[in-house]
Amino acid sequence: MKSILSRVKETIFRSKFDSKNYWETRYKAGGNSGSGSFGHLAEFKARTLNNFVELYQIKDVIEFGCGDGNQLTLAKYPSYIGLDVSITTLKSCIEKFKSDTTKSFYLYDGQVFNDNKGIFICDLALSIDVIFHLVEQEVYDKYLFNLFRTGKKYVIIYSSNFHMPPNRPDSHEYHRQFTKDIQNRFQNWKLKEIIKNEYPSKNYDDEKGSLADFYIYESTR
């Protein structure tokens, strides 16, 4: 029997790659957000983010790409908005956190996301394990724009930060040196701190390690 990931890749391969379609197909087939949202990697991310929220007295958080919500079960945020491109996983998150009045969830589509009234603006905007999954250039560009537009004080990105385009038409990863793009496009933000991963891939296998580190940006407006 073919694995869930194999079936997802076959579906995506039949047409031009669409990151939104990839994740909806993956979650609909019973898949999850990946190994980084479980175990020691999830605990490392939660510990880092919870400490930051407490230290800087963050009142509200918005996350672009909340995924299956497993990472969120470890979070300690006063108020939270979760956005995702997958209807399937949002339904799951809404059900999972239905009794938690501090959390809200919305469907995200960068092509029709235009928050001129600042409805979604929060102290902290998060992008956790998402940047390197944005294969299409237009999707990536719009995602960064919306991420930094909704972060009032801070933006935290957890991702790889080197250039490596996809090597197959069905690949759902495009590693980018996003720090250069942010430096060039968002003049009112500065890179405040980089927190290195406690479980780097060079010391662990693909399931236990990660290529991502934390990049913390602060508004200078």
Q: Which of 122, 127, 128, 121 is nearest to 78 (CA)?
A: 122
Residue 152, domain extent = 34-219
The answer as to whether 20 is a domain residue is no
The answer as to whether 169 is a domain residue is yes
pLDDT of residue 14: 40
The answer as to whether 146 is a domain residue is yes
The number of domains in the chain is 1
The answer as to whether 87 is a domain residue is yes
The answer as to whether 108 is a domain residue is yes
One-letter amino acid at 213 equals D
For the segment 125-136, what is each residue's pLDDT rounded down to a tens digit?
A: 999 999 999 999
Give the largest Cα separation in the chain, rounded.
Answer: 55
The answer as to whether 103 is a domain residue is yes
For all residues of the chain together, what is the average pLDDT? 91
214 strand-pairing partners: 158, 195
What CATH number did the domain enclosing 40 receive?
A: 3.40.50.150
Answer yes or no: pTM beyond 0.85.
Answer: yes
CA terminus-to-terminus distance, the chain: 55
Rounded Cα gap, residues 81 and 79, in angstroms: 7
184 strand-pairing partners: none
The answer as to whether 9 is a domain residue is no
Beta strand 122-128 pairing with 103-107: unpaired
The answer as to whether 199 is a domain residue is yes
pLDDT band at 3 (very low <50, low <70, confident <90, very high): low
